[in-house]
Amino acid sequence: MGRKHRKVTGECLCGQIEFTVELPAKWCAHCHCTRCQRSHGAGFVTWFGVNKEYFTLEKGEKLLKWVPSSKKSEYGFCSRCGSSMLFRSTKWADEIHITLANVHNDIGLQPQAHVYFDTHVDWLNFDDELKRHVDPVVK
């Protein structure tokens, strides 16, 4: 008999895209890359990653659009409200990354690090003790 995983749900701002994520998350981190800053209009974005087969789009398939962010990656967003909530890349082909803010429930994992910290905005100060990486490695 297989082990049952806990599930969490999430949605975009307008609620027209809904999804379910099977946990556990592989990692959780604050991303400070300039692409995240620009696509979200924020100083950083908190993401978590799961195996892509643990992500289920429940509603809004026609509204979910993907836009390239580099030659190897793309962001998924709602074409109705503009919520940018997903990320996928050939670099992590077996994963999908989900914005923590778009999930309704606790994923059971706190952010573990700051990634791409070399491009963090100078108008935010961080006094936490999380590791600060210049690359996307979370260890």
Residue 135 lies in a domain: no
Q: What is the pLDDT of residues 74-113, one digit of tens each?
A: 999 999 999 999 999 999 999 999 999 999 999 999 999 9
pLDDT for the residue 135: 81
In 9-89, which residue ranges form alpha helices assigned H by DSSP?
Answer: 34-40
Range of the domain at 52: 7-118
| Residue 88 to residue 74: CA distance in whole angstroms | 6
Residue 44 lies in a domain: yes
Q: What is the pLDDT of residues 33-81, one digit of tens each?
A: 999 999 999 999 999 999 999 999 999 999 999 999 889 999 999 999 9
By percentage, how much of the chain surpasses pLDDT 90?
Answer: 91
Q: What is the CATH number of the domain that holds 90?
A: 2.170.150.70
Has residue 138 got a pLDDT over 80?
Answer: no
pTM for the model? 0.91
Q: Before 24, cis peptide (omega within 30)?
A: yes
Amino acid at 48: F
What pairs with residue 127 in β-bridges? none
Residue 126 lies in a domain: no
Work out how many domains the chain is built from and give that number.
Answer: 1
Has residue 10 got a pLDDT over 50?
Answer: yes
Length reported for the chain = 139
Residue 136 lies in a domain: no
